[in-house]
Amino acid sequence: MKIVTIIGARPQIIKAAALSRAIKTHYANEIQEIIVHTGQHYDDNMSQVFFDELGIPSPDYNLHVGSASHGVQTARMTEGIEDILIKEQPDFIVLYGDTNSTLAGAVAAAKIHVPIVHIEAGLRSFNKSMPEEINRIVCDHCSTLLFSPTQAGVENLKREGFPMDNEPPFTIDNPKVYHCGDIMYDNSLHFAEVAATKTNIISQLGLENKPFVLATVHRNANTDEPMRLNAIFSALIELSKECVIVLPLHPRTAKLLKTNLEDRTREQLFNASNIKIIPPVSFLEMIALERHARLVLTDSGGVQKEAYFFKKPCIILRPETEWVEIVQTGNAILADADEARIIAAWKHFETYPPTDFPDIFGNGQAAEFMLEQLLKASL
């Protein structure tokens, strides 16, 4: 069986490590994987570092699309992916998550009848102003095999009319939904021990035995809206009076801090000795930071979940989340970009640190399960 895997943005590169590892370990003779990097993310610390660190095979193709408006970026990717699919004639295309690289892969493949495997299917924010919500809905509705990490994802697909007890052969018109656990849980378990021995970021940052908050901010709804960006950073400045904050800065945010932050807030931010703003870190370094942090504050989908995997409370800088279970279990709080709510959430978790993190993301073997289903479906 031949699959073409599309990656492009940081979280997709990391997710792909789990599938490539499972292919290499269990199915090297049965599955050939062709990796296509769209080039959506291209800085070394947003892309190459993950290939170097996580054992992901080098991409067979790189489309080098770079940054552009949604339409231009997606169109360039779609054109490049279509050419590759025609040349490679795979049994499946594998798409991760909800980025523009996902959307481009879905549109290219569906029109020329290459069956789509969507990993992270069914997730919804019910907020169509997010580019990701459009991307994931289109991708799900073009897919043949839909792997949902959570029960909430399965329920969303059910509501949208996906069949639940259907029989093979599976096609775009008879798609199959699986509840399979989270591929990033596979990765976090696998790399946690490696991270413990192979990175020294905690000592590099002088954080041994020092409580700190790990923060990330990159959602366009937060970075592109000056009011929201100012509220988030004012909250960070306030929190830094009580605790060290480590902020690996996404390039989008680095760019927009210059234009969208009020002068006074920017000055306070860069003068706050307790806020450590650092370039994006590697995945192993990120795991080390997540494991040692007292609390995580983020608008990232991936980082929210990893906080849960490592049993840390999480303040979500969004009005809603696709990972509803982590809020329902009381381990995360939706604080939006609201300074008072962010501070209140911090105080809540300081007073009532959560201790119970039920298993809701599978058993760490989602990748193996998915590959078994692909092999069955390709018969």
3-class DSSP assignment, residue 36? strand
Side chain identity at residue 2, one-letter code = K
| Residue 374, contacted partner among ligand UDP, ligand UD1, none, CB below 5-8 A by kind | none
| Residue 280, contacted partner among ligand UDP, ligand UD1, none, CB below 5-8 A by kind | ligand UDP
Token pair belonging to 168: 């093979």
Element containing residue 17 per DSSP (H, E): helix 10-26
Contacts of 37 (CB under 8 A, 6+ apart): 7, 8, 13, 47, 59, 61, 62, 63
Element containing residue 332 per DSSP (H, E): strand 332-334
Shortest Å, Cβ 196 to ligand UD1 = 25
In the bound state with ligand UD1, the residue whose beta carbon lies nearer, of 31 and 287, is 287
- Contact characters 223-262, ligand UD1, x per CB under 6 A: ----------------------------xx--x-------
Task: Tell me, yes or no, if 218 is annotated catalytic.
Answer: yes
In the bound state with ligand UDP, the residue whose beta carbon lies nearer, of 40 and 156, is 40
The reply on whether position 24 binds ligand UD1 by CB under 6 A is no
- Contact characters 65-104, ligand UD1, x per CB under 6 A: --x------------------------------xxx----
DSSP assignment of 69-116: -HHHHHHHHHHHHHHHHHHH--SEEEEETTSHHHHHHHHHHHHTTPPE
- The neighbour count for residue 44, using CB atoms within 10 Å, is 12
Q: How many residues bind ligand UD1 (CB under 6 A)?
A: 19
CB 123 within 8 A of CB 136: yes
Residue corresponding to tokens 């009848």: 113
Question: Restricting to residues 116-145, which ones interact with ligand UD1 according to CB under 6 A?
Answer: 131-132
In the bound state with ligand UD1, the residue whose beta carbon lies nearer, of 221 and 237, is 221
| Residue 43, contacted partner among ligand UDP, ligand UD1, none, CB below 5-8 A by kind | ligand UD1
Contacting positions for ligand UDP (CB under 6 A): 10-11, 14, 216, 218, 248, 280-283, 286, 300-303, 306
The active-site residue out of 37, 218, 250, 292 is 218
| Interface segment toward ligand UD1; rule CB under 6 A; list 6-14, 117-125, 282-290, 319-327 | 6-14
Shortest Å, Cβ 314 to ligand UDP = 13
DSSP assignment of 57-77: PPPSEE----S--HHHHHHHH
Element containing residue 344 per DSSP (H, E): helix 339-351
Cα separation of 330 and 326, whole Å? 7
Burial 258-281 (b: 16+ CB within 10 A, else e): eebbeeebeebbeebebbbbeebb
In the bound state with ligand UDP, the residue whose beta carbon lies nearer, of 90 and 302, is 302
- List of residues contacting ligand UD1 (CB under 6 A): 9-11, 40-43, 46, 67, 98-100, 131-132, 218, 220, 251-252, 255
Active centre residues (catalytic): 218
